Structure 1
Amino acid sequence: MKKYVVYLMAAIIISGIAYTSYSAYQTKQDQQQMKAKQQAEGGLETGMKAPDLEIEQDGRMIHLSDLTDQLIVINFWATWCPPCQQEIPELNAFAKSTSIPVYGINVTTAERRLSDVKQFLKKTPITYSVLYDTKGQSEKTYQLVAMPATYIIDQTGTIVGKHVGPVTQEMLKEMVRKIGG
């Protein structure tokens, strides 16, 4: 009977060690996959503090941090970018169907001229706020490797959602739903 108890205890200890080792291995694998995903997509990731930007709104300079007193969506775009143009109706629809502010941040330094952006906006109806990164901060600060790039930022200024490439209204709604917004 004593041998049975000793073998049982040994089996329990070995199982515990195996489980702990596997759990540590799995955690390390998950971290490596996340790092690979970050490198592939580029840019900042969810859970990070959203860097502040000095951007132009209605002819005056403001700080992005001044807008984050509530959940917001920011979308980096350029007029010459076909996927950016493709998603504009989707962003319009999302902005119209929710109370979450959408800010389209035009990466103005990637444009030929600011007047090109103004001409584009005359032809293309955008119902959400358009801001201008005339100082060229967003590409470096947000580590943009592709446009469009969309971020959801919460009231604490933390990135809680991210998508590189064109978004749809449904994608944005699902992202917001997942974060409890």
Structure 2
Amino acid sequence: MRYFLTKHLSLVVLFSLLFNVVSAAKAADAKAFEQVNSREALEQALAKHKGEVVYLDFWASWCVPCRKSFPWMNTIQAKYQSKGFSVISINLDANYDLAQKFLIENPASFTVIYDPKGQIAKHFAIQGMPSSMLIGRDGKIKQRHTGFFTKKIPAYQHEIEQLLSK
């Protein structure tokens, strides 16, 4: 009986350690997260993608539709990047740890900027979560969306394709 308990206790400890290592590795992957002056980070990101079509997305960890939008944003980033397209997302959580946890659960293959004071959201007069806008190659806002609806994905992609063709 003692051998049985010792063996199972050892397995529990081993799996706990393994889980902690995997969690730490996932946390390291989510480090592509700007924690600097939010406005400066956005200006730098937009400058880096000057002349491209940019999908600018505002999200928060508590936002259920935001969780649905991340896989799609990863897909469009991969699909259109070679044509001069980029996704930049702005997180509005006041608590950095909540945003990090979200990114571990919903990885991003695009730029993520942390805006805990909502400076960027205020500048763009964001009304709800998620909110997004399409910025044309000329740097001007071409479309605005409040909410994310999977049934509208074909319309969102059509807007992107129209801007990319110009």
TM superposition score category, shorter chain reference: 0.5 to 0.7
Of 43, 47, 69, 1:65 maps to 43
Deviation digits for residues 42-94 of structure 1, max 9, x if unmatched?
Answer: xxxxxxxxxxxxxx953444342331512211100101000111111111111
Structure 2 segments unaligned to the other structure (5+ residues): 1-31
Kindly indicate which of the two structures has a greater share of residues assigned to helix: 2
Contact 1:75 1:148 in 2 (8 A): yes
Contact 1:90 1:167 in 2 (8 A): no
1:98 partner SS: helix
Output the CA distance in 1 between the equivalents of 2:67 and 2:127: 18
Correspondences of 1:81-100 after superposition (within 5 Å): 81-99=63-81, 100=85
TM superposition shift of 1:170: 3.1
Of 145, 155, 158, 1:171 maps to 155
- Does residue 106 of structure 1 match 2:91? yes
TM superposition shift of 1:101: 0.9
What's the % identity of the aligned pairs? 26
TM superposition shift of 1:143: 1.3
Partner amino acid, structure 2, of 1:161: Q
Runs (4+) of structure 1 exceeding 4 A deviation are none
2:57 partner SS: strand
Output the CA distance in 2 between the equivalents of 1:88 and 1:171: 17
Output the CA distance in 2 between the equivalents of 1:80 and 1:135: 16
TM-score when normalising by structure 2: 0.64
Partner amino acid, structure 2, of 1:71: V
Q: Measured at CA, do residues 124 and 177 of structure 1 come closer, stay the same or move farther in structure 2, by a change above 3 Å?
A: closer
Deviation digits for residues 92-122 of structure 1, max 9, x if unmatched?
Answer: 111111111101111133xxx1111112212
Partner amino acid, structure 2, of 1:127: S
Output the CA distance in 2 between the equivalents of 1:122 and 1:63: 21
TM superposition shift of 1:167: 5.1
- Greater Rg over alpha carbons, structure: 1
Of 108, 116, 129, 1:126 maps to 108
1:101 partner SS: strand
TM-score when normalising by structure 1: 0.59
The number of residue pairs the alignment matches comes to 123
Q: Tell me which residue corresponds to 1:156.
A: 138
2:90 partner SS: strand
Output the CA distance in 2 between the equivalents of 1:124 and 1:64: 21
Partner amino acid, structure 1, of 2:102: F
Partner amino acid, structure 2, of 1:101: S
Q: Tell me which residue corresponds to 1:145.
A: 127
- Does residue 135 of structure 1 match 2:128? no
Partner amino acid, structure 2, of 1:128: F
